[in-house]
Amino acid sequence: MTRTLHRLATARIAAVEDSLLHRLDHRTLLVVWGGFILALISVDKYDIARTFSFSAFPLFVLLVARIAFLPLFKRLLLLSPFIVITAAANPFLDRTVLSSFHGFSITTGMISAAVIIMKAVMTLTAMLALDRCISIAGLCNALHRFRVPAVFTTQLLLLHRYAFLITSEAATMIKARDLRSCGRRGKGPRDTANLIGSLLLRSAERSERVYKAMLARGFSGTLPLAAEQRFRLPDAIFVTTTFTGFTLLRFIF
Amino acid sequence: MHMADALLSPVVGGVFWAASAGLIGYSAKKISKEDDIAKTPLMGVMGAFIFAAQMINFAIPGTGSSGHLGGGLLLTALLGPWRAFITLASVLVVQCLFFADGGLLALGCNIFNLAFFPAFIAYPFIFQKIAGKGEQPYRLATGSILAAVAGLELGAFSVVIETILSGNTDLPFGTFAAFMLPIHLAIGLVEGVVTWAVLAFVHRVQPSLLTGDTTHRSVRPILAVFAIAALLTGGVIAYVASENPDGLEWAIGKTGAAEEPAGNHGGIVGHLGHLQKKLSFLPDYNFREGMGKTVQTDSAATGKLQVFGTSAAGVAGSIIVLAVALGLGLLLRRRPHPHGSAS
């Protein structure tokens, strides 16, 4: 929960760090990251070498954006059990022997499982890097310019604004419960439902106050967005270079 | 139950992105038409509430494990389907982009699996039919539990379909479904009980919050058609895509031509092909002729050599690409500008 609060707080700041990537238009970041993920996951399930070659992009962004490796590595260890279980099944179900090495057989199932794990690690690394490079204000601005409805961008801004406050409130409630419960006492579904219900009522009351405050400040249905980012020469160079790289990795090398 | 990019194919991911984007657009249009700006801050705060409520764990009796509320059904009971869908989608976008929960391409699938089913299927077709206005406790309990179970089971089933259609896992459909559905049945039962308990609490303390929304009824058939179309389209396209690795090659094959046509090697195409051969030192994912040439005796040996060549070429190529990326990264890695410095 501490990490969540910290992340919610930092996402409010336009640029947490300063690097080449942090200065790019958020539309550029979204398009390039989307292109990377599309190119990577379109690689054949047995093409381990080509999949591995795509690790160049996460490595590049981690270096450029000056993202620390250790916290990232810790987060990667928490890879979704769903992915791990799905990948782990492949060696047992696809036993076509591809090669033998001192009596140890390498099967196609092992290759496809390794490819799933590699893709998962790479996409997760890329997303963790993206999450360090974008701010909520920049994201909503980019979405607005991609013609996403104002209802949705306003919702994102409000959600982010109040997630911080209400998560802090929930953290206080959890601490109060933990201080009063010895072991698992008071932590069952029924007591927790009352706790969640109380949080819900407090949230609803807060929304009433927020609405009145917003009306007093001339609210007419949508929130104003931050100053528009511009697509400049560095954005064009970044998009062109990365897409050329993805095309080369995917189709040529 | 968040889907990850690694298990998806571009076609399946793209189809569900389109379906979810369409639903967000349509829901936004319906909300704009209602012109009720008082509910805008309520949506924001309720989204934040769901975000926070998911962090409050509770002990699951008799198991020694803990769980948390998903909140899809609860949110729909408070805001109605359109607003709940937009709110849940916004929570999933924040989770994806700021917490790396679920992938960017998988976002469409996650919105569909975790927001569409509780908002547009479980709530109107099960919860409202059984629970009504929530005045009778046993009806509220039955409606909450059945709707939560249905929403989660449909979402889990959708995950199975999306994963199988993507073709990255070798798990058979039956085995995968038999693994996923019972787990989510148990999760759904717990979710239903907690949702019911929260709704009962709110009903007792502040019933005015549970007014719900009935505007969804006129569009139920449209949404049902939308969902079926998305699933069918995903299924058909993914089937064709997995059976025929390249649509163009498939189409050419149907005409009776070779999979990779010899083509006309003159003109600009020929020149570019020639240039590619010159530049590409790992053509067709193998070493170029003359690099590591060996004596080939029979077809089996040729096959093994090709496998070795392909693997070695792949590893070599990957290392070179990594080295280039590493070099570029270090080159472009700048020291941050000191804040507050005069320019």
Cα–Cα distance between B122 and B59 in angstroms, integer? 25
How many Å from the N-terminal Cα to the C-terminal Cα in chain B?
49
Q: Tell me if A87 sits within 8 A of A116, measured CB to CB.
A: yes
Of A1-5, A82-86, B98-102, which gets the smallest average pLDDT? A1-5
Q: How confident is the model at residue A137 (pLDDT cuts 50, 70, 90)?
A: confident
Per-residue burial over B59-85, b = 16 or more CB atoms within 10 Å of its CB, e = otherwise: bbeeeeeebbbbbbbbbbbbbbbbbbb
Residue of higher predicted confidence among B322 and A159: A159
Residue range A55-99, pLDDT digits in tens: 999 999 888 888 877 777 777 777 677 788 888 888 888 888 878
Question: What integer pLDDT is reported at residue A70 of this predicted model?
Answer: 79
What ipTM score was computed for the predicted complex, to two decimals? 0.85
What Å distances lie between residue A64 and A54, B93, B160, B336, CA to CA? 16, 25, 37, 11
> Scanning the structure block, which residue is given the tokens 């910290």?
A6
Residue of higher predicted confidence among A108 and A220: A108
Q: Tell me if A163 sits within 8 A of B55, measured CB to CB.
A: no
Residue of higher predicted confidence among A59 and B219: A59
Residue A223 is given by DSSP the state P
Q: How confident is the model at residue A114 (pLDDT cuts 50, 70, 90)?
A: very high
Chain A residues with CB inside 8 Å of B332's CB? 20, 63-64
Q: Tell me if B214 sits within 8 A of B79, measured CB to CB.
A: no
| Portion of chain B with pLDDT greater than 70, in percent | 59
pLDDT for A213 beyond 80: yes
Q: How confident is the model at residue A247 (pLDDT cuts 50, 70, 90)?
A: very high
Question: What integer pLDDT is reported at residue B71 of this predicted model?
Answer: 85
Q: Are strands B66-67 and B58-59 parallel, antiparallel or unpaired?
A: antiparallel
Residue A122's Cβ-count burial label (10 Å; 0-12, 13-18, 19+) is buried
Question: What integer pLDDT is reported at residue B69 of this predicted model?
Answer: 79
Residue of higher predicted confidence among B322 and A186: A186
Residue B306's H or E segment, with its range, is helix B299-332
Cα–Cα distance between B54 and B42 in angstroms, integer? 18
For range B248-270, the mean pLDDT: 42
Residues linked to residue A97 through DSSP beta bridges, in sequence order: A107
Treating both helix axes as pointing N-terminal to C-terminal, what angle do B247-254 and B220-243 enclose, rounded to 10 degrees? 70
CA neighbor of A134 nearest in space, from A3, A35, A15, A227 = A15
Chain A interface disruption, residue of B7, B23, B36, B49, most A CBs within 10 A? B49
Of A46-60, B179-193, B267-281, which gets the smallest average pLDDT? B267-281
| Portion of chain B with pLDDT greater than 90, in percent | 24
Of A126-130, A222-226, B121-125, B288-292, which gets the smallest average pLDDT? B288-292
**Among B169, B201, B333, whose Cβ lies nearest the Cβ of A86?**
B169
Residue A182 is given by DSSP the state S
Residue of higher predicted confidence among A56 and B168: A56
Residue ranges of the alpha helices (H) in B206-295? 220-243, 247-254, 267-279
**Among B6, B205, B311, whose Cβ lies nearest the Cβ of A123?**
B6
Residue range B236-251, pLDDT digits in tens: 444 443 444 333 333 3
Q: Tell me if B60 sits within 8 A of B71, measured CB to CB.
A: no
Q: How many residues does chain A have?
A: 253
Per-residue burial over B34-53, b = 16 or more CB atoms within 10 Å of its CB, e = otherwise: eeeeebbbbbbbbbbbbbbb
Residue of higher predicted confidence among B50 and B68: B50
Is pTM beyond 0.95 here?
no
Q: How confident is the model at residue A240 (pLDDT cuts 50, 70, 90)?
A: very high
CB contact under 8 A, B336 and A116: no
Chain B contacts in chain A segment 198-217 (CB below 8 A): 198-201, 203-204, 206-207, 210-211, 214
Residues 6+ apart with CB under 8 A from B20: B89, B107, B108, B109, B111, B112, B115, B116
Question: What integer pLDDT is reported at residue B322 of this predicted model?
Answer: 57
A107 — phi, psi (to 5°)?
-105, 160
Chain B residues with CB inside 8 Å of A212's CB? none
What average pLDDT does chain B have?
A: 72
Residue B293's H or E segment, with its range, is none
Cα–Cα distance between B148 and B191 in angstroms, integer? 6
User: How close, in Å, is residue A102 to chain B by CA atoms?
Assistant: 16
Report the amino acid identity of residue A227: A
Residues 6+ apart with CB under 8 A from A115: A43, A45, A46, A47, A48, A51, B168
Cα–Cα distance between A7 and A130 in angstroms, integer? 13
**Among B5, B78, B202, whose Cβ lies nearest the Cβ of A37?**
B5
| Portion of chain A with pLDDT greater than 70, in percent | 91
Q: Kindly write down the DSSP assignment for every residue of B124-189, as one continuous string.
A: IIIIHHHHTTS-SHHHHHHHHHHHHHHHHHHHHHHHHHHHHHHT-----HHHHHHHHHHHHHHHHH
Chain A residues with CB inside 8 Å of B171's CB? 86, 89, 93
Q: How confident is the model at residue A31 (pLDDT cuts 50, 70, 90)?
A: very high
